[in-house]
Amino acid sequence: MIFKFEPIYQERVWGGQLLKTKLKRNIPSDVRIGESWDLVDRDDINSRLLHSFKNSQSLRSLIHDNPTLMMGPHWSPDQKFPILVKWLDCSERLSLQVHPPKQIAQKLSGEPKTENWYVAHAADNAGLFAGFRKGTTKENFKEAIANGTAENCCHRINSEEGVSILIESGRIHAIDSGNLILEIQQNSDTTYRVFDWDRNGLNGIPRELHIENSMQSIDFNDFEPSVLKTAINLNPQILANCNEFRIRKFNLLNGQEFQLKEKNVDCSIIHLISGKINIGKESIEIGEHGLSPFSEGCIIKATHESEILITDRFNKPT
């Protein structure tokens, strides 16, 4: 058994039409959709089951009414789903930003946020910013922000289809234009924007910056991290393995199937990058996800040659 949910679209100044052209999403052609929140359990925004299910129950109510079935015997009914899954259409450059580490987040009344980027599509000359160039100091960076040259301090990596990078809390980062990215993250929505390339927001006014909070949150010893290039001959390949989640990539041949039932896992999320798969009576198309709850394993069968990611959330005591 799996659950599928309706996407929730967010307009962004840096968004475009990649969700329509690459993932075949039905979105307006005259709106800059930058984010599709495909699995989310927040107070102000919550995923609802696809209409193909018996009802459009929310993810929050599913967990509240069936905590053991969904997340295991240790899970509290009021405990939120721990993972947030998004597609990002980065048709233009995102702001330079940071998410606060746990201790700093508590001090600033925010939430820590570790996330992983998987690049599903990259245009020519697309790139990713992560960490600093070697030799950059806090003083250098503050000066660069003031004179509009912050980009010169940041480590830029060429982006290409199939690369992955873990962006831990405290890492300065931005996504350059021309990327379609699957973001799998800790359930948080705290972002401190340190530089926005001197542009205006959707309302024609410059977006708010959070320089003081950013300076408290940034790891100034984080220099020139590298991306992970995924490989066909590693099956599965671990893309990320941190306190918040584990992400694995599988390459499946047409007709290949395997059973997903992990020990000590609250739940697993299946993400289809390319191809097509069936899980029981449900089919998963490109860009879709299936939530496999604690109480159920599932058999994944590829009906085309397919690439999938699987995110596992390991048991955490309440």
Q: Are 309 and 271 in contact (CB under 8 A)?
A: yes
Helix (H/G/I), strand (E/B), else coil: 11: strand
Q: Label residues 203-222 b or e (16+ Cβ within 10 Å = b).
A: eeeeeebbeebbbbbbebeb
Helix (H/G/I), strand (E/B), else coil: 236: coil
Q: Are 307 and 273 in contact (CB under 8 A)?
A: yes
Q: Are 89 and 15 in contact (CB under 8 A)?
A: yes
Burial of 171 (0-12, 13-18, 19+ CB in 10 A): buried
DSSP count for the chain of H helices, then E strands: 6, 21
Helix (H/G/I), strand (E/B), else coil: 176: coil
Query: Which residues are known catalytic residues?
Result: 193
